[in-house]
Amino acid sequence: MTDVDGLRARLASVRDRIRRAAERCGRDPRSVLLLAVSKTKPSEEVLAAYAAGQRCFGESYAQELVDKAEALSELADLEWHFVGRLQSNKAKLVASRAAVVHAVDSERLARELGKRAEGRARPLDVLVEVNVGGEATKGGVDPVALEPVLRAIEAIPSLRLRGLMSIPPHTGEPEASRPFHRALAALRAAHGGAGRLRDLSMGMTDDLEIAIDEGATIVRVGTAIFGPRAPRG
């Protein structure tokens, strides 16, 4: 059963963390979008968060996003963001339901998404995932190969380039992610700044304060809102 009161309290506490972090560094708290990452959690919990005022939700698995979007399709202002690693053969599913895709990391995937987004009423917003940690096992564009991917997206009418995203190496020590957040902000500055790349999607449950301090405009928060996730089996 959904613990509506608990969820409401956790959501309020995350909003409070965002507000205090923004105020500490002289930013307007409204310049930071809270994306509630609801992957593995049932649509009842999404609905409870929606009732508490949350509007943007992140999912990592294409079919799960589609299933929840269908279950909650009467909530017209609920916005789905796909934050996972997207395989080309799932682009159609995601383009049919998501407003934003956070982890585009190749020209090939951009073209596939562009094709699948052609029938949409509005362009599909996309962010480019950058592999700021240089980790071989992770997705994301190598920083030196970023520009061609940005240009490819800008050339596709059904897509709208919205910004950059990263998932720094996980260490359990929030401060350890600061250099990676700073590197993503520097990449934005080097590739046209906020005029071209409006959003920086960085920061999760453990390090959202650090990310906001380094300029995040979207923080992706799962655990602090919905509680721990069961391992995916």
Ligand X SMILES: *Cc1c(COP(=O)(O)O)cnc(C)c1O
Q: Residue 214 Cβ, how far from ligand X at the closest point, in Å?
A: 16
If the CB atoms of residues 22 and 167 are measured against ligand X, the closer one turns out to be 167
Report DSSP letters for the chain, one per residue.
Answer: ---HHHHHHHHHHHHHHHHHHHHHTT--GGGSEEEEE-TTS-HHHHHHHHHTT--EEEESSHHHHHHHHHHTTT-TT-EEEE-S---GGGHHHHHHH-SEEEEE-SHHHHHHHHHHTTT-SSPEEEEEEB-TT--TTS-SB-GGGHHHHHHHHHT-TTEEEEEEE--PPP-S-GGGGHHHHHHHHHHHHHTTHHHH--EEE---TTTHHHHHHTT-SEEEESHHHH-PPPPP-
Q: Residue 37 Cβ, how far from ligand X at the closest point, in Å?
A: 4
> Which x/- pattern, by CB under 6 A, does the window 40-69 give for ligand X?
--------------------x---------
Q: Residue 172 Cβ, how far from ligand X at the closest point, in Å?
A: 11
Q: Residue 118 Cβ, how far from ligand X at the closest point, in Å?
A: 26
Does 210 interact with ligand X (rule: CB under 6 A)?
no
Among 43, 131, 205, 217, binds ligand X (CB under 6 A): 205
If the CB atoms of residues 146 and 167 are measured against ligand X, the closer one turns out to be 167
If the CB atoms of residues 155 and 231 are measured against ligand X, the closer one turns out to be 231
Does 13 interact with ligand X (rule: CB under 6 A)?
no
Tokens of 222: 């799962």
- Which residues in 211-230 contact ligand X (CB under 6 A)? 220-223
Does 116 interact with ligand X (rule: CB under 6 A)?
no
Q: Residue 6 Cβ, how far from ligand X at the closest point, in Å?
A: 16
Tokens of 63: 């079919």
137, amino acid identity: T
If the CB atoms of residues 46 and 167 are measured against ligand X, the closer one turns out to be 167
Number of residues lying near ligand X (CB under 6 A): 12
- Which residues in 156-195 contact ligand X (CB under 6 A)? 167
Of 156, 131, 159, 135, which Cα lies nearest the Cα of 145? 131
If the CB atoms of residues 73 and 223 are measured against ligand X, the closer one turns out to be 223
Residues that bind ligand X (CB under 6 A): 37, 39, 60, 83-84, 167, 204-205, 220-223
